[in-house]
Amino acid sequence: MKEPLFIEFHRLKTLDSGVVRTHQILLALFTLFFVGVVVLADRGAGFWGFLKHVPMGDKLGHIGLLTVFSLLLNLVLRGRRLRPPLGSVMLGSAILAAVMSLEELSQAWIPSRTMDVTDWLANLAGIAIGQWLVARPLARRSQKSGIGPH
């Protein structure tokens, strides 16, 4: 029998439907905000000029945005993981990594943007932090209860 594409954490399957709905609404609102940020950046406009005065501000902005996005998306997807050998990667993290890699590459053709490997690495760092924030409490709970991945 073929393995399923995703391995799910037991605890996220049992979340209250109100909590899941809240996560979905927060993800939808954050997605709209994030798309707005990207569109403004593509047009050469933006409200984030203050980040230029903060050391590594641009990179911290990337990390912060992608941490929140990864956290919310992985919560909504209930911590689903890709099957081995990528079993340590959550589905939401994989989706974000792919989309953000394409977004960063697309900047090579947008005159007001600059493709930057360090931005891409900051995006990946934010995605990893968001996944860690979802996985850490789940791992502790599953170890205490003896349920879930070890």
Q: Which pLDDT tens digit goes with each residue over 4-22? A: 444 444 445 556 778 888 9
Over residues 95-115, the mean pLDDT reads: 91
Q: Could you give the CA distance from residue 30 to residue 73 in angstroms, rounded to a whole number?
A: 10
Q: According to the model, what pLDDT value does residue 110 have?
A: 85
Does position 37 have pLDDT exceeding 50, yes or no? Answer: yes
Locate all alpha helices (DSSP H) within the chain, ordered by sequence.
Answer: 10-13, 17-42, 57-76, 91-106, 117-145
Q: Please, what is the average pLDDT of the chain?
A: 82
Query: Contact 78/148 with Cβ under 8 angstroms?
Result: no
Q: According to the model, what pLDDT value does residue 57 have?
A: 82
Does position 29 have pLDDT exceeding 90, yes or no? Answer: yes
